[in-house]
Structure 1
């Protein structure tokens, strides 16, 4: 694959600065409570992924112009979103990812993700094999604690779960979603907005 003719892309809901600031304030407590090393996301890059696309061509039937045209036909009404609670993937016993769930906006988010999925499936993008679970990834777990040799699983994550459950998050209005490019660099991935798609008040085109 010629890297000059492709880019790494995904579709996501952007998050406002007050939610990113709340995450930044929570991360130190999560690091202290975690029984393993966390590779936390940078708060300024935080978003809610609706669909990851991977490497897509710049042109052609699945290129950026075709993607943008398909996504422009996705209609949704604005909705309120608020993070809340802790989620561990693939399961709390042996987690690899720490995330925050949604206290508000889950059904609307699932509906929007389903419409994005359908629009892009019409272009030939494969559908996700699992049901969409709206979440905000906070960190990936890089290693297990030393005591893993004496205990099953990856340690006791109750402290992290308690921090996530007790966190206070602002509520924000979701009125657009974005087609992003992910640019890898020495300091981690940088996300650049390629196209933005605004909500419609009645949810219809």
Structure 2
């Protein structure tokens, strides 16, 4: 590990390569229409289950230990698809533009609950907000830069990226750079089976 330096990290489910490629083409088209937004690199798109923040190497080990203890008891692999565009806090004052998640969402919620319990046992505070599964597409510096008509059109678009099977939970490191966050896996936990 890195001595006492904090490790910025989160737990997520990743997209498969085919879904990432389809999504990358769509995001490229959108970014050409609205270049004033900070679009997320499609390679790094994921569904966050728990943002851990800056944690110590000891906390990383503790979380890893708690998640490893779930071996064989994690939810079984399940299928998700991407559906619906929205914004936080809402379309009229967007700070984050996101793509929703559909499919076997109950299984995703079950995995989220397992992650919450494991990270709580490792000493992290529980999430104070309800779980709203999504992929962050873009961040908005100034909401006035985004015409409501663009967001309304986007929210009504019927973009289809096909389903993918979630087979693992990923413990991801996030390194901030001038060009945005770069992600690298700290660990992966196979769903319904061994690590």
TM-score normalised to the size of structure 2?
A: 0.87
Shift of 1:3: 7.8
SS in structure 2 of the partner of residue 94 of structure 1: coil
* C-alpha RMSD over aligned residues: 2.4
Aligned to 2:162: 170
The answer to whether residue 64 in structure 2 is matched with residue 64 in structure 1 is no
CA drift of 1:184 comes to 1.7
Write out per-residue CA displacement over residues 80-115 of structure 1, whole angstroms, 9 at most, x where no aligned residue.
011111121111221111111112122211111111
- Structure 2 Cα separation of the partners of residues 188 and 180 of structure 1: 15
2:155 aligned with 1:155, yes or no? no
Question: Quick check: 1:83–1:169 contact (8 Å CA) kept in 2?
Answer: yes
User: What is the CA distance between 1:30 and its match in structure 2?
Assistant: 2.5
CA contact (8 A) 1:100 1:137 kept: yes
Structure 1 segments, 4+ long, off by >4 Å, are none
Q: CA deviation at 1:145?
A: 4.0
* Partner secondary structure for residue 129 of structure 1: coil
The aligned residue for residue 175 of structure 2 is 183
- Where does structure 2 lack aligned partners over 5 or more consecutive residues? none
Partner of 2:6: 6
Structure 2 Cα separation of the partners of residues 144 and 134 of structure 1: 22
